[in-house]
Each structure stands twice: as structure tokens, then as C-alpha cells.
Structure 1
Amino acid sequence: MHLVQILVPLRDNDGNPFPRAWLDALRLELTERFGGVTAHLRAPAAGAWKDEEGDLARDDVVTVEVMAEELDRDWWSAFGKRLAKQYRQEEMMVRALPCERL
């Protein structure tokens, strides 16, 4: 089993919020494909990193996660690229962790 997490930005690079409908559609799509989804919406995480010029960039993100029996790397890679295009990001952080149900 795998826990797949997607870090979804709440705003574009100019600080404009993305439509809430995008997040709702993402949750619905993942629920339909994987049978459930968890979105950590109450307190966005505050991300920070240095950009190519060395300037500090910041972003508020929510984590959306699903449990998947099998990890289809090709599907997740294409999915992440599609989301990156939609959210106007260079890359969407899509990560998978091995998970054991206790």
C-alpha cells in the first residue's frame, strides 16, 4: 500500500487565489479513482524555498492524499504534469510513501 500526497498551492505567483472549484474537482476525481481522499484544509502549510535567483519564495499549500494499493508511476507522473499546467507551476509535488495499515 502507498500513501500518495499532493501539495496543492492556494494562490498563483501574483498572490491571486485559485478557484475553490479546482480543489473540489481534484478531490472528486481522486475519490472516484481511489475510493477516498483526505484533504488537509484547515491550516494551510507555509512553504518557503529559494528560487533560481536566490530570492526567497513562499507559498501556502494544502495536502491532498490518497491510499493506493498499487503505485502507477506513469499515471501519477502524467497527473502531476497536468496539475502543474493547470496551477501554472513549474512542478507539482506529488510524493508516495510506503504505507502499512495497522
Structure 2
Amino acid sequence: MHLIQILLPLYDNEGQPFTQDEFLKIRDELSERFGGITTYMRSPARGLWKETKETTVQDDIVIYEVMTETLDRAWWTKYRKQLTAAFRQALLIVRVSEVELL
């Protein structure tokens, strides 16, 4: 079993918020394709990273998770590129972990 997590920013690089419709569209797409989704939207997480030695950047993000038996890497790579363009990001994180159900 694989757990895929998508880290989506709440704001673009100019600080403009993305619309609720943009998040709902992704939620609905993933729910339809994978039969369910978990969204963490109530308390956005905050990401911090060093862009340069002197500059720290922060992002408020929401996390979408889906679980799937098989991992279609080609589909996920293409989907990540679509999301990166839609959310106007230089890099958008989509990560996968192998999960063992107890």
C-alpha cells in the first residue's frame, strides 16, 4: 500500500490566495480516481526553508493524502507537473511512502 501526500500552497508567490474552487477541483479529481481522500485544511501547516544564506521563505500549505495499492509513477509525475503549473510554483511536493496496514 502506498500513501501519496500532496503539499499545496494557500497563496501564490505574490501572496494572492488560491480560490476554494481550485482546492475542491483537486479533491474531487483525486477522490474519484482513488475512491477517497484525506484533506488537512483546517489548520494550515507552515513550511520554512532557506532560499539563500540570508533569505528564509515560508509557505502556508494544506495536505491532501490518498492511498493506493499500486503506484503509477508516470501518472503522478504528470499530475505533479500539472499542479506545479496550476499553482504557479517552481517546485511542488508530491511524496510517497510505503504503508503497512496493521
Normalised by the shorter chain, which TM-score bucket? over 0.9
Aligned counterparts of 2:50 and 2:92: Cα–Cα separation in 1: 16
Structure 1 counterpart of 2:30: 30
**Residues 31 and 37 in structure 1, CA contact (< 8 A), matched pair in contact too:** yes
Q: Percent identity?
A: 47
Structure 1 counterpart of 2:95: 95
Pairs aligned (count): 102
- Once the two structures are superposed, residues 32-61 of structure 1 have per-residue CA deviations (whole angstroms, 9 ceiling, x without a partner) of 000000000111001111125751111000
Aligned counterparts of 1:54 and 1:87: Cα–Cα separation in 2: 26
Q: Which 4+ stretches in 1 moved above 3 angstroms? A: none
Matches within 5 A, 1:49-60: 49-52=49-52, 54-60=54-60
Matches within 5 A, 1:1-102: 1-52=1-52, 54-102=54-102
RMSD: 1.1
Instruction: Please give the TM-score of this superposition, normalised by the length of structure 2.
Output: 0.95
Q: Which amino acid aligns with 2:64?
A: V
